[in-house]
Structure 1
């Protein structure tokens, strides 16, 4: 099964595939028929194999099925619906998009940007009374010849950009075979079967939702119930209505869910969750343990990134251990440790590298980034993840942080994840992120932003004293900012890089 179309085959036509609040289920037979219909509508608009189609849709079942069906005929490029016009213009030009899929009636910045470049605009129209995810595409203009052949395993299925927090975003092309391999890896590590159902709250312009929730489930013949985005106030109602066996989320979402768990005990007790999954950022050990205790189910932390078509490592299911503070064991690709500068594998702590059929062939149009990110050793082509870590004696990977996020305090290296782990032990702290604060003499100083638990109190001095009793002096945050909410990225991840500037601390520290 080396293409998206291939892994949709062989499942019972009548089995439920895609669901949503207040909607009937779209069956596997219906999903396969939709794929054929959408291919015809794209071809009629002059869009086919190898052509790039930007998708700008709100979260929900139509976004899920748009990705799955369009990828069976062309190359998909999902974009964040919250972008402004200039951001859309950058991505559409960078992608060399030929067409864009927009909701019927949408008249926002993505349309204005598409019109700048003369893209074929395709409107997605659906009937709320129809099964979840059923839609049709209506082209405004377009037409002409295109390649109507089915995409092959070596064709690009999905194009995403890196976050670009420190440089221009890089284009990551993911092949049909990359998506199929990663879906199979996730399916195997979570032991997904047709009896499973995922409650998806992740944004579907992001690799986490597209691969872990949607693609892995579909490759197993399982079902996905698509919420219209994440909402902690509605989560427990969705949990009751969807009746899932699992859900996947980023740590900030899990923490928001925990904050409302005590008042939804009846829903939790009635749920049939087989496991909970966390990925896309480091899950604090304390949160992992609290989730497991609250839901009475194991918490499976996965380690992923865009260039790996999401998953690289995963904490295993019982009876094997889930280790709080670890991202688990190798789960698909080969995962090793490399020297941070020299192109060779090493024992101990170093840069995490991966090799396997789920790894992108390389950044598009960026030979310099490829030369830095890929190297040959021991008969394999390795990708440098930019993460630092080490394996323990049981083969579980423990990350010490992003190499570019490691704080260099006058030559003394501080792992933000280590400081986070200590601060999260404080009984008043619900959430924290440690980050670098510019310093005129040391270069960087350690700082932390924290959110207190509801009803709890703590001062900056108390938090610093707590940390000072538990770690070396040079690791103790010199500045602790207590906030109602820590700024997050588009996918709900806490972002360390640039946080000092966002909080207005960079200038005062200089």
Structure 2
């Protein structure tokens, strides 16, 4: 039973390529397994045990992929977005109770400042240009602690911790067990029919569940290879495709749209590569984009439906000969997927809240009984997780999402809590009241906007408020539109309402 990350890698031939990257030799499966043993030994010598939590803050690329895969075989991984500011890093490190943080050798910046502020041990990741892609060694900035016991994680140990925005200002902690990660990787491997002959070109950020599981871990489950780019860059994508010779890639819709904008001048590379399929997830793929991608690449486009609490994949459009339906996120692809009443704890037919149950689903949010009580329920002999999405199945079992129940802003796959943005803007001395809301955007789906009321005598304009926010939040959270009002529209009960606010303010067409 491949119920741990270590077990996923165990059966593949030593000399098969596993991890690649620009201008580097391939790291083989044998070398990857050896690296995992070296990393475990290094971490134990530094006093880090199987249940200790290690934040990983690295740029995208092969070392980020191998750091996740190898550290997760020894301890608990917590990848963080390198774009965070110091206060954000401090929040996440403290919330995680991180024992250590992995940073690039020689790196100085907000993540290091936050770690030093909190006394979190700093581990330096050192690479060698003469070694294969993904190879690294670890060294501690400070003397190591007492030797830790050399146990390996089992199926019930936590492998990965991520934060997810909720309907409160405080992000929720999502622990994913070794068995959750392994199950999801196997589900994706199965739904995409991955084999050792497949190769994924990864352009997804590897602090995000999509890239970590769909691109990296699912490929490793199949004995396939992953060529890791340094991040997404539409100008460089087709050069990477030429060099990597992938059989598939996975991306969010905005990336696919940017790739399409440059596809015409790269028709020769597309033809020479001959992708087996393309995959899209993390946000809704417009039907027109799905059809254009399929025509441009002469390959099926597999739109999938995932979320952090499910260790990514829940549903997926199937490969041929079954149909890929534009506008649908496909058929259940691993866990059980059903429709539930939005209020009552029961399963229903028709339109309702999408719920899931299966081995890839988190056991529950950490230290958050209220969220767990709202998100999980038992019915028909199973424990179900409420996704917060509305949807329905057609007669062939294809799921179509009809909207989100929650107020979370989905900016091209990045989920942003409006209340978190509210809290930052309210710190501005001129701001008396703020409501952050979703503003429709033609490419990202949604953009962050905020309506603000100033204190009497307060002096601030849109630029000043945005500049203030940009020093305290990652760029993707900063409102792109700030509307300064005398009064924010209220609902019938006097409550401030986010949903529909863009329309009420004349910033979007009526729904």
TM-score with structure 1 setting the length: 0.82
1:30 and 2:31 equivalent?
A: yes
d(CA) in 2 for partners of 1:447, 1:197: 37
Matches within 5 A, 1:288-299: 288-299=290-301
The residue that corresponds to 1:101 in the other structure is 102
Shift of 1:30: 0.2
The residue that corresponds to 1:419 in the other structure is none
Point out 4+ residue stretches in structure 1 off by more than 2 angstroms.
Answer: 163-167, 404-407, 443-452, 504-510
The residue that corresponds to 2:351 in the other structure is 349
Shift of 1:79: 0.3
d(CA) in 1 for partners of 2:436, 2:230: 41
Alpha-carbon displacement from aligned partner over 1:4-61 (angstroms, at most 9, x marks no partner): 0001011010000000000000000000000000001101111120000000000000
d(CA) in 1 for partners of 2:171, 2:408: 21
d(CA) in 2 for partners of 1:323, 1:444: 34
Shift of 1:448: 3.8
Shift of 1:163: 3.0
1:391 and 2:369 equivalent?
A: no
SS in 2 for 1:289: helix
> Is the CA contact 2:166–2:408 (under 8 Å) kept in the aligned structure 1?
no
SS in 2 for 1:297: coil
The residue that corresponds to 1:14 in the other structure is 15
Alpha-carbon displacement from aligned partner over 1:410-448 (angstroms, at most 9, x marks no partner): xxxxxx9xxxxxxxxxxxxxxxxxx9xxxxxxx999964
Is 368-377 or 157-166 further displaced after alignment?
157-166
d(CA) in 2 for partners of 1:295, 1:507: 48
The residue that corresponds to 2:273 in the other structure is 271
SS in 2 for 1:77: strand
Matches within 5 A, 1:6-155: 6-141=7-142, 142-155=144-157
Alpha-carbon displacement from aligned partner over 1:43-98 (angstroms, at most 9, x marks no partner): 11111200000000000000000000000010000000011110000000000000
The residue that corresponds to 2:235 in the other structure is 233
The residue that corresponds to 2:332 in the other structure is 330
The residue that corresponds to 1:188 in the other structure is 190
Show structure 1 runs of 5+ residues with no match: 408-415, 417-434, 436-442, 453-488
Change (3 A) 1:95 1:447: closer
Shift of 1:143: 1.7
Aligned to 2:204, which of 202, 212, 220?
202
The residue that corresponds to 1:504 in the other structure is 482
SS in 2 for 1:167: coil
SS in 2 for 1:240: helix
> Is the CA contact 2:167–2:407 (under 8 Å) kept in the aligned structure 1?
no
Change (3 A) 1:451 1:131: closer
d(CA) in 1 for partners of 2:240, 2:347: 46
Shift of 1:504: 2.3
Change (3 A) 1:445 1:66: closer
Alpha-carbon displacement from aligned partner over 1:445-468 (angstroms, at most 9, x marks no partner): 99643469xxxxxxxxxxxxxxxx
Alpha-carbon displacement from aligned partner over 1:288-339 (angstroms, at most 9, x marks no partner): 0000000000000010000000000000000000000000000000000000
Matches within 5 A, 1:241-256: 241-256=243-258
Change (3 A) 1:151 1:444: closer
RMSD: 2.5
Shift of 1:140: 1.8
Change (3 A) 1:75 1:317: same
The residue that corresponds to 2:414 in the other structure is none
Change (3 A) 1:22 1:198: same
Alpha-carbon displacement from aligned partner over 1:213-255 (angstroms, at most 9, x marks no partner): 0000000000000000000000000010000000000000000
> Is the CA contact 2:165–2:408 (under 8 Å) kept in the aligned structure 1?
no
The residue that corresponds to 1:358 in the other structure is 360
Change (3 A) 1:507 1:166: farther
The residue that corresponds to 1:429 in the other structure is none
Show structure 2 runs of 5+ residues with no match: 411-417, 419-434, 445-469, 490-511
d(CA) in 2 for partners of 1:75, 1:385: 25
TM-score with structure 2 setting the length: 0.82
Change (3 A) 1:451 1:392: closer
d(CA) in 1 for partners of 2:89, 2:55: 10
d(CA) in 2 for partners of 1:20, 1:55: 19
Aligned to 2:441, which of 424, 437, 449?
449
Shift of 1:503: 1.5
SS in 2 for 1:130: coil
* Number of residues of Structure 1 aligned to a counterpart in Structure 2: 436
Shift of 1:349: 0.3
Change (3 A) 1:447 1:122: closer
The residue that corresponds to 1:369 in the other structure is 371
